[in-house]
Structure formats: structure tokens, C-alpha cells
Chains A and B, each alone.
Chain A
């Protein structure tokens, strides 16, 4: 039971991470109609920039504004130089151009930081573990990630549902042409949305630093899972990204944690581990295939 709760929290933590990435990606998809494979690169940029500053300053905290700032800036530059040219293109051109961006970003990072993974210093506040309920010890850093993720979710909810920008975003994701026709400065809206997505990706990247290694290729690993979240949740829907992100995070973590043990009941341990880990890797893709076959537009698809 304790183990189960612990894995549930791990799943929640992975889920909010996926949500941070998927929220930006789904907005970029839904509003601008752009498939952005380079979203994972912004996550990587945030992780490297934040970690570099944190290492220089020998403290975790200055890394956060640095990650946000650099990821946001890089996002704005990418939007202005590449993405802007892709709005009117078909999906194929978007996939290719942003695939090219992945190659470019990965090599630039290798040129600057090398291939060795670097590690983010963890502030002392987060050392050790705390007892949440009797018998359940959990690292406070992961709890912080969960709370930050939930805070962002609440913040986004208010931004989308209570502000003027949010109104435009909602309108843009369902009636793009109409928003344009009503004289809204769509270009500015696009830039803001892309910048927001980049900020969230950078934040997610930096916060993952102390848990996973910061290295080249970290963006692609999580990118595919993020796309699965976006597609399952329904393109353009923040609510969908939240539900699907948390759901997938939990399912993925649970499969990885418990499937090999269950399979050991039926077969040799080494086979069970191999099969278990590969089925759990397949799990999210299988889930996506099933959801799409039942609801081809995803769970919470925005209209249109």
C-alpha cells in the first residue's frame, strides 16, 4: 500500500511535468495550427541554461528565472525566424522544419556543453525526505514539482477563462479565421502563445534537472510522450492536456513499477523484466491508439 501510494505520487509528478510541456504544445497546435517537434528542444534549452546559471551561482534558485528567461527568448527567436513562416504551410513542412530545429539545437548544445550529462545542484531545503502519512516518506523536491505544476494549472485556468488574452486564445482555438476577421492582431497573439509555451517548457526542463540528468537528447525522450498527451487530450484543449497528462503520467509510472513484478509470476525473471519494461514503454502509445480509434479527435477536442 505504501509502495503503491509512493508510485502514485511519482506518477503525479511525471504527470504534471507532462502537463507543463503539453499545455504549451496543445495551444501552439490548436491556435496556430503548427506541429512543433522542437518543443522538446526548448525544454532542453531551459534545463541547460538554468543548470549553467545555478552551477555558476552555486545555488538552485537563480536557475529558475534564468531557465524561464533563456527558454522564453529562444522561443521568441524561433517563432520570429522559423515558425512564423510555417503558419500557412501543410503539416509535412512543419514536421520537417521543426525536425531540422531539433538537429540544430542538439548540436549547438553539444558544441557549447559537450556530450556529458551535467547535474543540477539541489538546494539543501530539499535534502532527505519527509513523512507525509505514517510510514510514507517522500522526497520534498518531488512534492515541490507537483505543487508548482498544480499552481501553473490553476494559473493557466484563470488566464484562459478570466482574462482578455485567454478569451482570444479560446476563440483562436475554435474559430481561428473568425478571430482574424474581427481584426485581432493575430500575429501578436501567436507570439505571446508561443512565448508562453516556451516559458513552460523551460520551467519543466529546469525542474527535471535534479531528478534526471541534463543531457542532449532529453528533449526527444519526453517529446513523444508529450505529443501522446496532446493528442489524447484533444488538440487545443488545456483541460485535455491536464487530464491526459496526469492520467498518462500515473499509468506509465504504474506500469513501469508493477508490471515486471506481476509478470514474474508467469515467467523467468529476466524475461519478465524485459517484457515488462517494453510493454510499459508501449503502454502510452497503445493507450493513444485506443483513444483515437474510439474518439478520433481526442477526449476534449476543441470544436472545429
Chain B
């Protein structure tokens, strides 16, 4: 029940944000809010493997970047009217580019996951980082698609019946996709699949003894997480009308982990609150001083060393509840 109220409150805040931004005369608020929605999705997808499954993937920004690049590359081929490899035509239709982005980032996650999940512990952290770096350098080398400078997408993808040149329309499209994504995520984490995943985090050997093929479950989760990040990246490309290798730099993977931890590891609303906290902090600190990362670093250090369970855990404790 309490979770339902929190969900309704969050939805109301995000739905009313464009109006509020208009009333206050601060358009930046709408941009900030859209970024929060998109990063919340990416962080939630990471939370699925990191928080629920206990897999510390340090290369999650790679799938985010692949999703963004799918939108960018499809758009540039649509513009030039040259098919990709002479086979697939480009596209500027959101209903085509989003599934394509999920498909390709999911495929990347499938290959990387199948190889990485053979290792564990520190080696797993490093090998996911290594694969992400390889993808990063791959896109840097693609001079046909802008290399280091990335691709400028002149216009956001079209949706039949909507005027996607209007920023507020784009915002609401992002909101709808995000709501659908979180509704799906709610079902996943509360399904038997979600329970198995939590079981693996707690004790993988026991799950194996119960006759569960843990590798396969972990790989499914890894692929689903990659697809979620790809979806978020595709939305980001549409929102910024730009993609670049910067989106998949390893520090971005670090930032996604920070968001998950800030909000509360392995909790449903954690990634949303974490992304909001991180981006709002960045927004105001950056406004105040160019050395905002100093403040961010100190806060982050404090959160890791002295709090347990991120923002959600802190709220619980402030209310006097002990876990």
C-alpha cells in the first residue's frame, strides 16, 4: 500500500513537472526531470543485476551507449537514404528505433554476459569493464559515424500522430515509456524469476543444490538489464538529439552504480530516488561551483562509509524503523 502511494506521488510529480516548470518560468526543470526519468531507467536496469542478482557489472554504460548509437546510426542512414550494409534501411520512427535499440543492446549483453559470467568477484568487475572499454573504443574508431565527436540527430524520432518537435511532447513520450518500463520491472522483481535472482545473490550454491541452473538465470538477468539500459540510451539519444562515445565512458558506468547505491541497493524505488538525488545534486552543485565533483565525492564517500541502504534506508531509519 505504502509503495502504491509512493508510486502515485512520483508519477504525479513527473507528470506535472512541465506545468510547474512553465509556472516557475524555469525550463531547465523539465530538462532535468527528463534526464532523471531516463537515468532512473538505466539505473533500474543495473539494479536488476547489481541489487537483486548481486553481479557487480562495471560496464553498464556500454549498453546505454549502444542503444543511443542505434538511434543515431538508423537516423543517419535514414537521412542519407543508404541502407546499412546495403541491407537494412535507416529509420526515424520511434516505434522501430526503440525495439531495435533494445534488440542490439540485448545482443551485446548476451555475448558479454555469456563470457563474463564464467568468472566472479573482482575478475567479473574487471572483465565487464574491459568489454565496455572495447565497445567504447570501437565507437571512437567509427569515423563513418563521427568517431569521437559522435552523431548529431537533427530531429527526434517521429511517432505517428504526435508532434515530436515539441519538447513537452517528447517529455511525455519519455514518461510513458518509463512508466511502462517500471511496471514491467515491478512484475519481473516480484515474479519467481525475481525470487530466484535474489536467492542467487544470497547463496548461489544453495540455489544450485535446489536444482536451479543459476548460470542461465544470471545470463537472462544480464540480458534483460542490457536491454533496459539500451532502451534508456535510445531515449537519451532522442532527447539530446545527439550521441557520442562519451555516453559509454567507464566513469558513466561508475555514475550508474552510484545512482543505484545512493537510492538503495536492491529496492524498487531506489534507482529513481538515486538518479534524482544524483542529477539534482549535480545540477545545483554545478550551478554553484565548477568544482562540484569535490562536493559529490565527499557526499558519496559519506554515503558509502556511514549509511546503510542509501536514501530509502535513511528514510526508514528516520522513521524509527530498524531493519
**Interface residues in chain A, defined as those with a beta carbon under 8 Å from any beta carbon in chain B:** 29, 35, 82, 85, 91-93, 95-97, 99-104, 106-108, 110-111, 220, 224, 227-228, 231, 235, 270-271, 274-275, 277-279, 281-282, 285-286, 288-289, 292-293, 296-298
Contacts and interface: CB of A to CB of B under 8 A. Distances in A.
Given A104-B298, A104-B301, A285-B130, A92 B141 contact: no
A103 B300 contact: yes
Given A100-B297, A292-B127, 9 more contacts: A29-B122, A91-B56, A97-B300, A100-B301, A100-B304, A104-B294, A228-B130, A289-B127, A293-B118
Interface stretch (B95-103, B131-139, B155-163, B170-178): B131-139
Contacts of B305: 82, 85, 97
B258 A107 contact: no
Contact of A82 (B58, B137, B291, B301): B301
A193 B206 CA distance: 36
B126 to A, nearest CB: 5
B123 A297 contact: yes
Interface string B110-145: 000001001111110111011101100110110100
A282 B129 CA distance: 12
A297 B129 CA distance: 16
B50 interface: yes
27 contacts: A35-B122, A92-B56, A95-B125, A95-B254, A97-B300, A97-B301, A97-B305, A100-B298, A101-B297, A102-B297, A107-B294, A108-B294, A231-B126, A274-B141, A275-B141, A278-B137, A278-B141, A279-B137, A281-B137, A281-B140, A282-B134, A285-B130, A285-B133, A288-B130, A289-B134, A293-B115, A298-B123
B234 interface: no
By DSSP majority rule, is chain B's interface helix, strand, loop, or mixed? Answer: helix
B192 to A, nearest CB: 26
A107 B301 CA distance: 14
B122 A231 contact: yes
A99 B261 CA distance: 13
A224 B133 contact: yes
Interface-centre pick from B126, B129, B137, B147 (highest chain A CB count, 10 A) = B126
A107 B56 contact: no
Interface in B34-66: 50, 56, 58
A16 to B, nearest CB: 22
Contact of A97 (B115, B265, B304): B304
Contacts of B127: 231, 288-289, 292
Contact of B304 (A93, A108, A227, A293): A93
A232 to B, nearest CB: 9
